[in-house]
Structure 1
Amino acid sequence: RAKLRIEPPTGNIDLNEDKVFICKVEGEAEELRWFDKLGEEIYPDASDRFSLESSEYDLQLLIRNAQVDDNGVYKCTAEAENGDEIERSISIKVIQRVTFDNVISNLEFDESDVATLDCIVTGIPEPTVSWTRDGQDVTRQDRFQKLENNSLVIRNIQPSDAGIYFCVGRIAARNEQESKSIAVKVNYAPRLISPAPEVVFTWLGNPVNVLCSVESFPQATFNWSHRGRELGESANVSIVANGDVSVSVVEVTVDSEADLGEYICNASNRLREVSRSIWVKEGGFPSAPQNLTVEPHSTTAQVSLGKPASDGGIPILGYKLEWKSDGAEWSSKMTESETFQIVELEPFTLYQFRAAARNGKGLGEYSKNVTAKTLSIREYTVSVQL
């Protein structure tokens, strides 16, 4: 018995697509015909958008520039050898995949603005639209809202809101999902980064770095002044930038007291300027080390000391340790450690010990002398502390 078959068997057509449906005869039949969704016969070259092409065993229906109005049931018929009419139908559905129109992929706003991210999403059937960032639905946050036209509004936008947002369109019926990324930048005025030293100690003849750190977008520009004068191009100024953080470093060489005093850093972008003062002061010598302790043995002594109460504003570089027996000259040793072993001492001998701390400016005052007697070869260790 003759029968008809339509290829392809499903009638989905993308919007504006051209597609051919072939009605094929299996067996003996003749007079193949196509009918549209209204039941009216389609003739060869019936219109610009519908046409037929035939061969001995099939009749092809060509639909050009498919539109939503073309949706419906189309039928192919033929007359079997016994005179009966046979038919096969196909349901034509014009679909549109998730499509994004005129989406701007890079947007820039100023801090505290009401930011609007537009996203026109079309599809057939109509897609649902959501907004995500870092895989999370942003509309659950208080300042974020999706409007009826699917645009995303961010109220009082903050620098922390900068990043990549995704406009996601989904057609659940086809399990179809597409997304479009939008990069958002937020301009904000320079902000001073703390902690940063407000006073830097140095000494005459020693260069010192004065730092000014800010966070901003766009990157800040820096201007330095000292005693009412701008530091010109001859000043040794460098800028290091890492993302939104910029650090300006000016190297100050203190040749005289005129180079000391207040240095003012001004950092600005088009939104605002901020300033901070850094004072360059002459540091002092360190005070004496605290808690000098001597643990004598027969020919050695273990010396421990504590940090000075004051480093003079300049980091401690090390210590000078001195010792002597009665009537002898002072022996000395420089060390960076706060513990030190003195060797080659005479057994059963009275020694005096003292220490001074050293910073970049020089050697500070000595501690009070500590007296300790080395042991005889057979004596036990005794600890003496001032």
Structure 2
Amino acid sequence: VIWISPKKTVISMGDRRLMDDQRMSVERPYISIWNLLIRNIRHNDTGYYECRINTSPVQTKKVFLDVKVPPAIVSQMSSDRIVLEEGQTATLVCNVTGIPQPNVTWYKRNHKGTSNIKEKIGSEGEVLIIHNVSRNCDDIYECYVDNGVPPAVSKAIRVVVNYAPEVHLQHPKRLGQYSGKETVLDCLIQANPLAVTDWLVNGQKITKSD
């Protein structure tokens, strides 16, 4: 009995292995059985293996070995943290490998909350493009990768959107108050990154000593 590899190389003849690959061996649980054992299967082991008996005529039997590989994310070629200005385009990359080719699904979750609830984005594939980003896009995005071979994997990508300060007064622009009374002036500022705030009176900056 002869075992032949997908590359047409003779693996074994009888009980003797002819290839240098020590992962392969012939097992004979019974005198009439010649099993080919391959340890530590690799993707390049995929292909048709042929069992041949040198009778007259020669008898052959082929079996196809389909090696499946679980999904993996290539971190060096994937996004990690992206910082943009409002109005720019964000390109998020989740470079994946696996056999069969994995499916990539994108999710978005609120980085400011403690909840793990995720919102599915209507986009699939290794690249997620967000045009004209706004401050509402400032979040954590997750690519979920699965090809039916466990385990599935995922990666979180932080998107930071910077925008100029916006000032909102919490009271009318003109206030009246009696002399000697205390008055609180509220000023709400929205900005990313956080803005440095100063108060001015008639154009003059107020210091702590004032």
2:4 alignment partner in structure 1:
35
Contact 2:169–2:186 (CA<8 Å) still a contact in 1? Answer: no
1:93 alignment partner in structure 2:
66
Pairing partner for 1:136 from 91, 108, 120: 120
Q: How far apart are 1:78 and its partner, in Å?
A: 8.3
User: What does 1:24-103 correspond to in 2, within 5 Å?
Assistant: 34-37=3-6, 40-43=9-12, 44=17, 46-48=19-21, 51-52=24-25, 61-63=37-39, 66-68=42-44, 70-75=45-50, 90-102=63-75, 103=78
AA at the equivalent of 2:185? V
Whether 1:196 aligns to 2:165 is: no
Contact 1:190–1:215 (CA<8 Å) still a contact in 2? Answer: yes
- 5+ long unaligned stretches in structure 1: 1-31, 80-84, 140-145, 236-386
Distance in structure 2 (CA, Å) of the matches to 1:55 and 1:152: 53
Identity of aligned residues (%): 24
2:112 alignment partner in structure 1:
none
Contact 1:200–1:210 (CA<8 Å) still a contact in 2? Answer: no
Change (3 A) 1:183 1:50: same
Distance in structure 2 (CA, Å) of the matches to 1:71 and 1:161: 44
Distance in structure 2 (CA, Å) of the matches to 1:126 and 1:202: 71
Q: How far apart are 1:50 and its partner, in Å?
A: 5.1
Name the Cα RMSD after superposition. 3.6
AA at the equivalent of 1:128? N
Distance in structure 2 (CA, Å) of the matches to 1:229 and 1:216: 23
Higher relative contact order (CA 8 A, sep 6+): 2
Q: How far apart are 1:111 and its partner, in Å?
A: 1.0
SS at match of 1:160: helix
AA at the equivalent of 1:152? L
> 1:117-140 deviations in whole A, cap 9, x for unaligned?
11112221222333333433344x
Contact 1:189–1:217 (CA<8 Å) still a contact in 2? Answer: yes
| Larger strand percent | 1
Pairing partner for 1:154 from 121, 130, 139: 130
Contact 2:43–2:67 (CA<8 Å) still a contact in 1? Answer: yes
Distance in structure 2 (CA, Å) of the matches to 1:51 and 1:175: 25
> 1:207-230 deviations in whole A, cap 9, x for unaligned?
322221111211121011113321
- 5+ long unaligned stretches in structure 2: 109-117
1:355 alignment partner in structure 2:
none
Q: How far apart are 1:35 and its partner, in Å?
A: 3.2
AA at the equivalent of 1:183? R
2:198 alignment partner in structure 1:
223
Change (3 A) 1:194 1:185: same
User: What does 1:360-371 correspond to in 2, within 5 Å?
Assistant: none
Q: How far apart are 1:98 and its partner, in Å?
A: 1.7
When the two structures are superposed, what TM-score results if normalisation uses the length of structure 1? 0.41
